[in-house]
């Protein structure tokens, strides 16, 4: 561990309050997750589109869809900026907003969260820790013909005074077209009974589980990143009062930083010459069906595969569907610095083709496994630090959502840096304190999924 890391970690040291208690030990949670994995049978067999009934290519619409026209469709996406092509690829259009909801409750003086051991067809390790409720509108209206998800009624009948978080946030704008989910944390006055698929656990325990690769899923990470510490204030019931360094920045925002971030993102939205349009999937010039897969003729971060899936203990136990399969690991990263006792993060305005409103605030580095884009000076310096292993605070392999993506893993890093180490700062970068970013998670579509996931790694 470098001197910089040692100092940084010392500032994040925590002494748990005397009132801290756990409904289940961490060992019990690991045992429960492994038991769930062993109990549920999972089978995924790759097939062709012709075998993927009820999914088919609809030439009149130019997309792959199912006969019920539910869940999602796969179109082609074509885009240009300043007259140059920037994208030509398949894209998932799922215009319904789903629930990502976590039920919380104070148990024996400590806040607990009701988490689910959920199995998705594309999960790397089958079972991952998921929110209490993780469901598309097609799921919870039972358009798939199965039973409704557990605990759904709590979210359908929320009272405002019991809502801690209720925000509509984006998903991966490099794979989805304007896809969003409703991120909710609901507070209960009294704990409710756990189903076999769910367990109460503390935020500290979830953060500990986040240290394991591919264990805490994307949906949990994005919901937890929205906990509104900045709105709770100094006297709020927050979990980090015994962490003076983080506490100093987490409950307040910086107006100057907020203005700078909005100026950068609004300038891009106003002045960029970016044009994105849906096109027929099979009209994409570099894409073709090959051995039952829809692939690009050149190296690309993903391909489209078709699967027959069998999973026990779900609303529907057998179905077929397309999945986007990754061809490698992307790299997402944040530079973190100490600015006179305040923790700051280097973020960047990130336009993406599938973005709901052109661009969102993203991490320092966001690089696909296959890219022909040359890194700028900041990215080069970040990649040098990755290569040497210098000043790495966190380094996790985390999965993307397994309901649409097949075994897509990304490397997520937080790296310590001194501000004066960065000799040049290209346009679009801003140093932001945590409180300001936390405030922006309380606004729809400001922070992208990659940045929210990285912020969830902080051990607050």
Cβ 315 vs Cβ 139: under 8 Å: yes
Other beta carbons less than 10 A from residue 343's beta carbon? 20
Residue scoring higher pLDDT (419 or 158): 158
Whether residue 437 contacts residue 389, with contact meaning beta carbons closer than 8 Å, is answered with: no
The whole-angstrom separation of Cα 458 and Cα 460 is 6
Residue 145 is predicted with a pLDDT of 58
Q: Quote the strand ranges of 282-329, DSSP E.
A: 287-290, 293-296, 302-311, 318-326
Strand 180-188 relative to strand 98-107, pairing: parallel
pLDDT for the residue numbered 162: 95
How many Å apart are CA 230 and CA 233, to the nearest integer? 6
Q: What is the number of helices (H) and of strands (E) in the chain?
A: 12, 25
pLDDT of residue 316: 78
Instruction: For residue range 301-345, list pLDDT tens digits in order.
Output: 999 999 999 987 666 789 999 999 999 999 999 999 988 888 899
User: What is the average per-residue pLDDT within 362-372?
Assistant: 95
Residue 1 has pLDDT above 50, yes or no: no
Task: Output the average pLDDT for the chain.
Answer: 90
- pLDDT of 390-414, one tens digit each? 899 999 999 999 999 999 999 999 9
Average pLDDT for 248-275:
91
Q: Percent of the chain beyond pLDDT 70?
A: 91
% of the chain residues with pLDDT over 90: 74
pLDDT at 62: 98
Residue 241 has pLDDT above 90, yes or no: no
**What is the distance between the alpha carbons of residues 379 and 350, in angstroms, rounded to a whole number?**
14
Q: State the pLDDT confidence band at 5, using cuts at 50, 70 and 90.
A: very low
Residue 269: is its pLDDT beyond 50?
Answer: yes
Q: Grade residue 372 by pLDDT with cuts at 50, 70 and 90.
A: confident
Check whether 114 has a pLDDT greater than 60.
Answer: yes
Flag the least confident range among 94-103, 160-169, 237-246, 443-452.
237-246
Q: Flag whether pLDDT at 4 surpasses 50.
A: no
**Is it true that domain 255-274+327-455 has CATH number 3.90.79.40?**
yes
Asked whether residue 242 carries a pLDDT value surpassing 70, the answer given is: no
Count of CA atoms in the C-beta half-sphere (13 A) of 62: 14
Secondary element (H or E) of residue 204: helix 203-209
Domain boundaries, the chain: 255-274+327-455
Strand duo 405-406 + 318-326: pairing? parallel
Contact predicate 186/158, CB 8 Å: yes
Residue-level pLDDT at 47: 98
In sequence order, what are the residues at sequence separation of 6 or more whose Cβ sits closer than 8 angstroms to the Cβ of residue 369?
301, 326, 327, 328, 329, 330, 331
Which residues are CB-contacts of 7 (< 8 A; sequence separation ≥ 6)? 338
Alpha helices in 291-344 (DSSP H): none
pLDDT given for residue 420 in this prediction = 83
Tell which wins on pLDDT, 80 or 90.
Answer: 90
Fill in the DSSP letter of residue 447.
B
pLDDT at 7 over 60: no
pLDDT one-digit tens code per residue, 52-80: 999 999 999 999 999 999 899 999 999 99
Greater confidence (420 vs 121) lies with 121
């Amino acid at each position: 561990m470098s001197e910089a890391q040692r100092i940084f970690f010392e500032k994040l040291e925590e002494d748990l309050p005397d009132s801290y208690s756990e409904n289940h030990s961490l060992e019990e949670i690991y045992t429960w997750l492994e038991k769930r994995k062993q109990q549920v049978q999972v089978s995924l067999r790759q097939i062709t589109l012709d075998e993927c009934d009820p999914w088919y290519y609809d030439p009149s619409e130019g997309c792959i869809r199912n006969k019920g026209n539910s869940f999602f469709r796969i179109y082609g996406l074509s885009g240009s900026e300043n007259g140059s092509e920037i994208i030509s690829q398949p894209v998932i259009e799922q215009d319904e907003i789903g629930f990502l909801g976590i039920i919380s409750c104070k148990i024996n003086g400590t806040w607990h969260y009701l988490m689910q051991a959920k199995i998705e067809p594309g999960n790397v390790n089958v079972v991952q820790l998921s929110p209490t409720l993780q469901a598309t509108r097609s799921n919870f209206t039972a358009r798939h013909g199965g039973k409704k998800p557990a605990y759904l009624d709590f979210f359908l009948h929320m009272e405002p005074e019991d809502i801690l978080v209720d925000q509509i946030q984006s998903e991966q704008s490099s794979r989805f077209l304007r896809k969003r989910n409703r991120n909710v944390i609901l507070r209960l006055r009294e704990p409710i009974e756990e189903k076999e698929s769910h367990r109460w656990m503390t935020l500290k325990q979830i953060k500990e589980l986040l240290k394991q690769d591919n264990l805490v899923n994307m949906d949990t990470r994005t919901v937890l990143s929205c906990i509104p510490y900045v709105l709770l204030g100094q006297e709020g019931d927050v979990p980090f009062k015994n962490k003076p360094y983080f506490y100093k920045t987490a409950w307040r925002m910086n107006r100057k930083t907020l203005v700078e971030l909005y100026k950068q993102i609004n300038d891009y939205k106003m002045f960029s010459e970016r044009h994105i349009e849906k096109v027929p999937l099979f009209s994409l010039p570099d894409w073709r069906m090959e051995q039952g897969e829809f692939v690009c003729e050149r190296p690309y971060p993903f391909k489209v595969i078709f699967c027959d899936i069998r999973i026990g203990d779900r609303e529907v136990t057998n179905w077929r569907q397309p999945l986007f399969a990754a061809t490698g690991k992307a790299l997402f990263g944040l530079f973190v610095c100490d600015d006179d006792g305040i923790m700051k993060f280097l973020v960047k305005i990130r336009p993406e083709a599938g973005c709901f409103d052109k661009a969102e605030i993203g991490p320092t580095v966001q690089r696909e496994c296959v890219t022909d884009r040359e890194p700028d000076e900041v990215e080069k310096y970040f990649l040098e630090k990755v290569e040497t292993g210098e000043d790495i605070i966190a380094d996790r392999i985390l999965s993307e959502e397994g309901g649409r993506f097949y075994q897509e893993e990304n490397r997520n890093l937080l790296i310590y840096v001194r501000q004066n180490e960065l000799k040049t700062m290209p346009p679009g970068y801003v140093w932001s304190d945590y409180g300001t970013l936390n405030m922006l998670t309380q606004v729809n579509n400001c922070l992208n999924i990659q940045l929210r996931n990285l912020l969830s790694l902080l051990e607050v």
